[in-house]
Amino acid sequence: MSNDIERMLAAAADDTDQPLHTDIDDILTRGRRSVRNSRITIAATAALTTLAILGGVSVWTKSLSTGTEPAGPTGITITKDGLAIDRETGETAAPPPPVSPVSDAEAISRCAPSDKQELEFGNGRNTWDTAGPIDNRWQVLLKSGDQNLLYAVFMAPDRSVVASCTMESPDQHIRSDRLSTRTLDGAKEPQVVSAQRMIPVPGVTRVLIGTDTGATREALVGRDGYFTLGYAGNHDQGPSFRRIRGYDATGKRVYEWKYVPPTQPASKPIPAGIKIITVPPITPKVVFLKDPQTGKPLMPVPVSPESDDRIRTRCRTIDEANPPGPAQEQRNRDAGLITPSWKVVLKTGTGTDFTALLVAPRKNVVAWCHMYDKTSYDYARSTVPATGNFGIQHHWGQVPAGVAQIIVDLPTGPVRALISNGYFIWGLTGGNDDFKTVRIRGFDANGTKVYDAKHDVDSDLSGR
Amino acid sequence: MRVRDDAEFTEFAAMMIRPLRRTAYLMCGDWHRAEDAAQDALVKVYRRWDRIERREGVKSYAHRAVVTSVLDQARKPWRRERPDDPDEAARVVPDIGGSVDNRLMVIKALAQLPPGQRACVVLRYYNDLSVEETAVVLNVSQGNVKSQTSRGLDRLRELLGHTERSAS
């Protein structure tokens, strides 16, 4: 039978009638750009973040209203049949899905096997998920369905993880997932909220969902603000949500989320006159040879013996092979190819291998250039954000104000970063990236710690 | 990525794009998504070309990348999986002798397996990977691969048998 399965799979995957639309050169280009753009984007992102702080927050507060409002026209009215009428439109929302008649214990029993698989399968990816598989210690937050269909949501005993499962029948699993109740790195809200599973406002008793089909449906609301439109069977995926509104027991709207179609952020171009602002050098009274906190010896980062001219010449060859294209920012295009006018502000490495930073004559573009084994390279150009400061990036950083010495706690041991012209680097970054979250500490001239933060940086300094 | 490696990578990508797309198709039932996933996987391979060659084998990494891409696509709430609606393009292909129906039947049956079982069955019985290789690709234990494969095969047999009986 396995042979039959193999034969059927091979037949199902037969793609002779499926033309390939991929050009391998495009993949190569995407690969190169993914390296370059990810780095270029760092600067652009910093600029956009600044804009978002100025202009984006108002959009967010409009789309997410967590304050109390007059019940009036934004509330709901409940009919004698228990249906919710949306006072905004006068429309009666479709009723919520039924509460499942199965017991909590039965829901846990049905869902446990698939949750265990999901947990095992997701192992290694979700480092935040340490709650273990669902069992009878987990709380059932919500269960919808009938004797066969089931959608259930469970809360871990330590309240760190919410697991959900969808079943077609008592032993036919459709899907499971596990979400963090916390706001994960880089997110704006708890994962369970961004996944549209719960409303982060206390006291919500009814939830209306506007769907992509234009319908307004009432969700089933469970404990702690968790809600669902249920599972309709036959692998139904349910609609996409366009609007979520939460109401308190009096029918007053206390929460609203609206879908905002993704649009290209209208980024204001940063004027070419914005220059990189570097802090003046500070000479430490005592150079650390050991970590002042742990006593571990600090690995020094060598200055590259390559001459500045040689660095410019070698980095220019990459520029020539990958000239800034139309997709790149104007300032980057204006900076043109590396010329003798570009200043090598930082260079580390041994022999002919190096990682260097070069600054354009207008002091608004930085080229990060990694050369290894004569012909291998890694390269990115970044335009300065509106703040004039790149901060600490994946492969290099700008020295924070007041800092004379920097220690980077790499997995291989602490490193005393090389500081030059207001920039710093912790080794031969580039090549095979191995990003790790590391602690970076800065010390003033007297050796007092004045900066301490974690950053995701390239920790593989082999250069390969 | 290095200049010297570009030629090697291009050769590898040209060789792997179709197999990866086929693997992804069995995982997701949609040729367009499958091609996206295969492309994404190869871009990931490109970024890690030297390292993966040294450490675990580039094909294994490519398989891992494509499986992860498909699963990640499916997990995103805005990219909803429609297992009962396999690729339109496949549906309109002229079908002589019912082969397309059979193919879609298999794709539908696969779609009903949980992702872990589906991945194990595809990698073991389509990509012909060993238990050990599959465990590496999926980053799970060998025991997990064995149990998921076994359950997946049982379920697939049940689904295909049931479908065939229903059709007759």
Collect contacts of A245-249 with beta carbons under 8 A, ≥24 apart. A245/A207, A245/A208, A245/A210, A246/A199, A246/A201, A246/A204, A246/A206, A246/A207, A247/A75, A247/A76, A247/A84, A247/A204, A247/A205, A247/A206, A247/A207, A247/A208, A248/A203, A248/A204, A248/A205, A249/A203, A249/A205
**pLDDT tens, N- to C-terminus, chain A (464 residues):** 466 788 888 888 888 777 777 777 778 777 776 554 434 333 333 333 333 333 333 233 233 333 334 446 778 888 888 899 998 888 899 999 999 999 999 999 999 988 887 777 654 457 788 899 999 999 999 999 999 999 999 999 999 999 999 999 998 888 888 888 998 876 788 889 888 899 999 999 999 999 888 899 999 999 999 999 999 988 777 788 889 999 998 889 999 998 876 554 455 678 888 999 999 999 999 999 999 999 999 999 999 999 999 999 999 988 777 666 665 678 888 999 999 999 999 999 999 999 999 999 999 999 999 888 876 777 888 889 888 999 998 889 999 999 999 999 999 999 999 999 999 999 998 876 677 789 999 999 999 999 999 888 888 888 76
Distances (CA, A) of A118 to A132, A151, A164, B134: 11, 16, 10, 16
Same domain, A402 and A321: yes
- Measure CB to CB from residue B43 to each of A34, A235, A375 and give the nearest one: A34
pTM of the full structure: 0.41
* % of chain B exceeding 90 in pLDDT: 6
CB contact (8 A) between residue A20 and residue B114:
no
Same domain, A403 and A309: yes
* Burial of residue A461, with CB atoms counted within 10 A of its CB: 0-12 exposed, 13-18 middle, 19 or more buried: buried
Same domain, A87 and A186: yes
Overall number of domains in chain A: 2
CB contact (8 A) between residue B43 and residue A378:
no
- On whether any CB of chain A is under 8 Å from the CB of B121, the answer is yes
Question: What mean pLDDT, rounded, does chain B reach?
Answer: 72
Q: With respect to residue A41, please indicate whether it lies within any of the assigned structural domains.
A: no
Same domain, A103 and A242: yes
Same domain, A337 and A405: yes
CA A237 to chain centre: 25
Supply the pLDDT for residue A244. Answer: 93
**By CA distance, what is A125's nearest residue in B?**
B139
Reported ipTM: 0.80
Amino acid residing at A205: T
- On whether any CB of chain A is under 8 Å from the CB of B167, the answer is no
Range of the domain at A318: 299-458
**Chain A nearest C-alpha distance from B60 (Å):** 17
Same domain, A439 and A361: yes
Q: With respect to residue A228, please indicate whether it lies within any of the assigned structural domains.
A: yes
CB contact (8 A) between residue B153 and residue A13:
no
How sure is the predictor about B136, in pLDDT bands with cuts at 50, 70 and 90?
A: confident
Same domain, A252 and A325: no
pLDDT exceeds 70 at position B52:
no
Q: With respect to residue A109, please indicate whether it lies within any of the assigned structural domains.
A: yes
- On whether any CB of chain A is under 8 Å from the CB of B102, the answer is yes
**Residue to substitute from B11, B107, B126, interface A, most A β-carbons within 10 A:** B126
Same domain, A195 and A92: yes
Q: Which residues of B touch A114 (CB under 8 A)?
A: 114
| Closest listed residue to residue A449, CA positions, set A437, A440, A459, A436 | A440
**By CA distance, what is B93's nearest residue in A?**
A17
CB contact (8 A) between residue B26 and residue A13:
yes
Supply the pLDDT for residue A3. Answer: 67
State the Cα–Cα distance between residues A223 and A171, nearest whole angstrom.
Answer: 26
Strands (E), A222-265: 227-228, 241-247, 253-258
Q: With respect to residue A231, please indicate whether it lies within any of the assigned structural domains.
A: yes
Q: With respect to residue A130, please indicate whether it lies within any of the assigned structural domains.
A: yes
Last residue of a domain, one of A193, A226, A258: A258
Same domain, A308 and A381: yes
CB contact (8 A) between residue B18 and residue A432:
no
- On whether any CB of chain A is under 8 Å from the CB of B29, the answer is no
Same domain, A232 and A337: no
CB contact (8 A) between residue A377 and residue B43:
no
Same domain, A304 and A176: no
**By CA distance, what is B49's nearest residue in A?**
A432
Domains and CATH numbers, chain B: 3-167 (1.20.140.160)
**Who contacts A298 (Cβ-Cβ below 8 Å, separation ≥6)?**
A288, A289, A290, A291, A407, A414, A415, A416
- On whether any CB of chain B is under 8 Å from the CB of A171, the answer is no
CB A369, CB A355: distance < 8 Å: yes
